[in-house]
Amino acid sequence: MTQQFGDAVNAKVIMMIGANSAVANPIGFKHFLQAKDRAGTKLIVVDPIYTRSAAKADLYLRIRSGTDIAFVYGMLHIIFKNGWEDKEFIDTRSYAMDQIRAEAAKWTPELTSDVTGIPVDQIIQATTLFAKNTPSAIAWSLGITQHSVGSSNTRILPVLQIALGNMGKKGGGLYIIRGHDNVQGATDMGNLADSLSGYYGLEDGAWKYFAQSWGVDYEWLKGRFFEKKWMNEKGYSLSQWWQGVLQEVKTYSSAPVRAVWIQGTGITSMSQQAKIKEALDKLDLVVIAEPFVNEAAVLTSRKDGIYILPVATQFECEGTVTATNRSSQWRSKVVEPLYESKTDEEVMFLFAKKFGFYDQFVQGMKMGVKDGKVVQVKNDFKWPDDAVREIARTIKSIGLSGWTPERLRAHQENWHMFDPVTLEGKGPMKGQYYGLPWPCWDDKHPGSPILYRRDVPVAEGGMGFRNRFGLEHNGVSQLADKSVTVKGSKIEGGYPQLTKENIEKVLGITLTEEEKAQMGGSWAMDFSGLIQQKAREAGVCVYGNARARTIVWEFPDPVPLHREPIHSPRWDLVAKYPTYEDQPKNFRVETKFKSEQQKQDWSKDFPTMLVSMRVVNLSGAGMLERTSKYLSAITPEMFCNIHPDLALKHGIRDRDMMWIHAPQGTKIKVKAYHNHSVTPDRICMPYNFAGIFQGIDLSANYPEGTKPYAIGESSNTITNYGFDVITQISEFNAGLCRVEKA
């Protein structure tokens, strides 16, 4: 997120859309409640369900899932019509807002209301409240990202904030709330199939850069791939890896997938459970490395070739974790790994040793920088300090250079010296923000709690927008206007990102020969640190000072457009706002969009909308929490919230069992809870159960003594087929189903 939670108290209005922080991030939500109490902040909640967060809202809007883009355009329509936009901000710091205006002009309140299901007066009320009381902030999480248009959802909301001039200031910005601690860290380290760590991508330049930092021969790395081309290809995603096994559609790889190693991810929280089961059954080898029995082991009926390795929990290992606000926290080991469990890294080291690449695997932790070159500086490594050092040395793209083990340990040991709301340090920690929220450009930098602030010097956490997409587009300069000067900067107005080639010109300096020899090609690939050093002297941010683009010309929809979910209850709107064309190769898998959506009018046989929800006591696949007796006692069984009117229409009484059928032919049997948080056109259930599959109890599959206190159907058995066009995340939060009394 661009802010940090304590900044909520500076917002006049906070709009939560596709987020249920009261349940998903209670402590984070505290900041919103404190803002309400201490600063009179108004809370707007936009959600298909009346959640616990909605219960605390000043204004609640019940939206049809998958229509968020339409809703935001409805807001933009009203904003532009009334002239409430921040014209100066748009003109000086953004690009292509006119194209957004053109699209917004179509979205009258009436049309928006028809598509989203929100009454006209509520749309107007919410927009007026949000736009006329700035700075206002937006918070979202998986309700926005988990859609077939997720990558457009996540663009239209920043566009709204840019239109209102809410970016780069206290009280504004975007609270993109990550779930678990260290989901942000996992993303930063590239636990994704389409990039190396730190968002460097998979081009040759990135591979060579990493090879240098790892102290490993680039050719040797290349040799690890079956063919060179796979080195630059995205891998299979977590959503459809099973297609690599089953190959029911066209897939692209050197061979079918034959083994899967699952470490630290709940497979039963992914969609298409029936397919995952088939894939697990078909594989040659399944290895599961977890602290608890990952229910992938229970879902499969295989009797052989499946191994469960006990891995240590967070209390039994040491390292850093990155919070949703980009701060890093050092975490100490409290107890040695119990019984036979091993820490994650130990498991990986043993694996590497077994398969003969251990030396290369750990080489990076023995390296250091000398005269701008990465060389070996020690013969052995200390975990995790040297791993943290390696990260700091390598990941310049998001400014992790300042995250040295010494600084992070010091922060952990001196919590009491930091203000819990502003994160500012006091005493010996003065001048630093807790956890050094990235970007933390060098080891003197305090961290950047709020992004894009040009009223703060770069050395204190300020910056403009990143210059990432070239210097001009269609003849228009992509650099910020002359008037947009970052405080204390030597350069007036916008400037490009710094490279060895342009640094002298941009900063107006001269480099010595020695500096030229040591300097790296660009700010993100400069081991010498000289580019950052020169930038610091000039009060300049290494990544440039550019305009924020409101369109993404590389995407199928440069301007974010509303498209109906793959399985939509409104056949009439499917014709007007169809989904994307089928994607022949999306993360190596042929992925259907239009052909699935328009195969038939799904709403005829599957008239009820399917929404997923969180419960506060279970997270992710739920296998950890369901082994705790107290947490299980809160939700001892899988359930589905259903409005009494809908339930009784099918003869389903409160606490009766019911079947829920999905378009792909799967079904689950769950207990019906009559509940008024849903309306009769939709049902809503948690996704954190496993252990029962399509009505069949899988208890016998649990190794002795490992069965959790609570088991149940996984809602992902019926999550509809559907994936985002760019990220391939499953469309968990929109879909259709049919209920039936069991």
Residues that bind other proteins (CB under 8 A): 22-23, 26-27, 29-30, 33-34, 36-42, 50, 52-56, 60, 616-617, 629-631, 633-634, 641, 675-678
Chain centroid to CA 563: how far? 21
Helix axes 97-104, 68-82, angle to 10 degrees: 100
Which CB, 87 or 629, lies closer to other proteins?
629
Which CB, 53 or 273, lies closer to other proteins?
53
Q: Tokens 């748009």: give the residue.
A: 90
- C-beta separation of 397 from 199 below 8 A: yes
CB of 174 to other proteins, least distance (A): 22
| Segments of 377-502 assigned E as strands | 472-473, 476-477
CA 583/CA 1 separation, integer angstroms: 30
CA 699/CA 372 separation, integer angstroms: 58
Instruction: Name every residue whose Cβ is closer than 8 Å to that of residue 407 and which is 6 or more positions away in sequence.
Output: 432, 436, 443
Closest CA to 565 of 55, 181, 66: 66
Which CB, 117 or 402, lies closer to other proteins?
117
- C-beta separation of 310 from 339 below 8 A: yes
CA Rg value for the chain: 26
Which CB, 5 or 723, lies closer to other proteins?
5
CB of 39 to other proteins, least distance (A): 7
Which CB, 29 or 71, lies closer to other proteins?
29
> Tokens for 639?
């359930």
Which CB, 259 or 633, lies closer to other proteins?
633
CA 551/CA 569 separation, integer angstroms: 29
- C-beta separation of 708 from 632 below 8 A: yes
Which CB, 60 or 434, lies closer to other proteins?
60
Which CB, 22 or 260, lies closer to other proteins?
22
CB of 605 to other proteins, least distance (A): 28
CB of 128 to other proteins, least distance (A): 16
Which CB, 270 or 710, lies closer to other proteins?
710
Q: Residue 439 CB: number of other CB atoms within 10 A?
A: 25
* Residue 716 exposed, middle or buried by CB count within 10 Å (0-12, 13-18, 19+): buried
Instruction: Name every residue whose Cβ is closer than 8 Å to that of residue 611 and which is 6 or more positions away in sequence.
Output: 48, 49, 65, 678, 682, 683, 684, 733, 734
H-type alpha helices, 453-610: 503-507, 513-518, 530-538, 571-576, 594-597, 602-605
CB of 41 to other proteins, least distance (A): 8
CA 46/CA 459 separation, integer angstroms: 38
CB of 426 to other proteins, least distance (A): 22
CB of 311 to other proteins, least distance (A): 24
CA 429/CA 424 separation, integer angstroms: 8
CB of 49 to other proteins, least distance (A): 8
Which CB, 617 or 701, lies closer to other proteins?
617
Which CB, 6 or 461, lies closer to other proteins?
6
CB of 27 to other proteins, least distance (A): 5
Residue type, 341: S
CB-based burial, 520-558: b 16+ in 10 Å, e otherwise: bebbbbbbbbbbbebbbebbbbbbbbbbbbbbbeeeebe
**DSSP 3-state helix, strand, coil percentages of the chain (rounded to 5)?**
35, 15, 50
CB of 179 to other proteins, least distance (A): 15
CB of 532 to other proteins, least distance (A): 39
Which CB, 134 or 404, lies closer to other proteins?
134
Which CB, 35 or 726, lies closer to other proteins?
35
CB of 63 to other proteins, least distance (A): 14
CB of 405 to other proteins, least distance (A): 30
CB of 38 to other proteins, least distance (A): 5
Q: Which residues, listed in sequence order, are joined to residue 657 by a DSSP beta bridge?
A: 671
Which CB, 426 or 629, lies closer to other proteins?
629
| Segments of 12-106 assigned E as strands | 13-17, 42-47, 59-62, 94-95
